[in-house]
Structure 1
């Protein structure tokens, strides 16, 4: 479980996050949603230590992350898997080398043991035998799956996913969503997904935190989101669905 309390973050005179609180539970796909500029990516970066908030608390199963020194944070980061928006694969490395990267960084396992873990992760994302391919030889969906394989290589307790369906067609997006949900439930991971994709919200949103102009405007499940009377949330839902339909028809 990850709990955030009263997170505030500013850049100069611009206050991006204004007292955000929420609880992200294990075994659930927890979504942070909102329009561009709402603060969702900034919140994610505060949670993993890429930004330091001016105020607030980030607790990993009761362990206060913000107050930790560099060495203490490393122990938490060993328990974190991260899928970046553009997959962030190393172009000069093969699929196998990309997935093995965190194992080389954080473990002293023998190569054979690390290779077994790589092959297990590739099998889990249905990419068996793709070890020696380079990112340039992969489709967008395959890159995302390799990114997921790398994110779970360390068998993380906490999985962060930033815009997993960016640039993907609707069919591939559904495959990625289902894979994230399956892994979350299978390993009882605390998974946090930043997205503006309403298909993801309705498909895998066990817990949803909606941000608007740096504030938390609503929280609930995908079963509750259609019945809210929050105008800002309804505007976001309608606009997201309209843009999705427009792109599909175009």
Structure 2
């Protein structure tokens, strides 16, 4: 379980996060949603330590991550898998080398053991045999799946995903969502997904946190979101559905 307590993040005079507290549930898909500039990605980066909160605390299974120094954070960081918005693959590395990268950093496995793990992860994301391809040879959806394969290579307890469906067509987006949901159950992970895709929200949103102007404005499940009387959330949901419908017609 991951907990954030009274997280504040400022950049100069701009207060992006304004005292957010939330709990992210183990074995569930926890979604952070909200409009552009609401603080979604900043919140995710504060949780994993890419940004340091200005105030507040982050706990991983009861351990205060915020107060740890770099060395103390390493054991937790080895349990974190991360899929960035643009997949963040190394262009000069093959698919196999990209997946093996965290294994090279954090394990003492032999080359054959790391290669076996890479093969397992590739098969798990339906990319068996693509080991020697380079990122430039992959489609957008394939890059996302390689990114997911790398993220699960260390068998993480925590999975963080930033806009997994960005730039993907609706069909591929659904496949990525389903893969994330399956892996969350399979690994019993605490999964945190930043998204503005309402298809993702309704498809895999076990637990949803809606941010508005840097504050937690609503919290609930995808079943509850359809019946909320929260005006800002309703405006977001309606606008998202309208924009997606318009894109589908193009």
Give me the TM-score of the superposition, normalised by structure 1. Answer: 0.99
- Aligned twin of 1:45: 45
Residue 183 of structure 1, CA deviation: 0.1
Aligned to 1:177: 177
Aligned match of 1:94 = 94
The alpha-carbon deviation at position 108 of structure 1 amounts to 1.1
* Displacement of 1:25: 1.1
When the two chains are superposed, the root-mean-square deviation of aligned CA atoms in Å is 0.5
The 5-angstrom pairing of residues 150-229 of structure 1 reads 150-229=150-229
Shift of 1:75: 1.2
Q: C-alpha separation between the residues in 2 aligned to 1:226 and 1:18?
A: 26
Q: Deviation string for 1:61-98 (max 9, x for gaps)?
A: 00000000110111110000000000000011000000
Which residue of structure 1 lines up, in the alignment, with residue 3 of structure 2? 3
Whole-Å separation in 2 of the counterparts to 1:54 and 1:172: 37
Partner of 1:116: 116
Structure 1 residue 79 corresponds to structure 2 residue 74: no
TM-score by length of 2: 0.99
Structure 1 runs of 4+ with >6 Å offset: none
In the alignment, structure 1 segments of 5+ residues that lack a partner are none
Structure 2 unaligned spans of 5+: none
Distance in 2 (alpha carbons) for counterparts of 1:185 and 1:70: 30
Residue aligning to 2:61: 61
Q: CA deviation at 1:239?
A: 0.4
Secondary structure (helix, strand or coil) at the match of 1:227 reads coil
For 1:123 and 1:50, how far apart are their aligned partners in 2?
30
Report the equivalent of 1:33.
Answer: 33
Matched residue SS, 2:51: coil
Give SS of 1:44's match.
helix
Per-residue displacement from partner, 1:82-121 (whole Å, max 9, x unpaired)? 0000000001100000000000011111001111100110
Q: Indicate the SS of the match to 1:224.
A: helix
Alignment partners' CA distance in 2, 1:19 and 1:197: 25
CA distance in 2, matches of 1:6, 1:133: 44
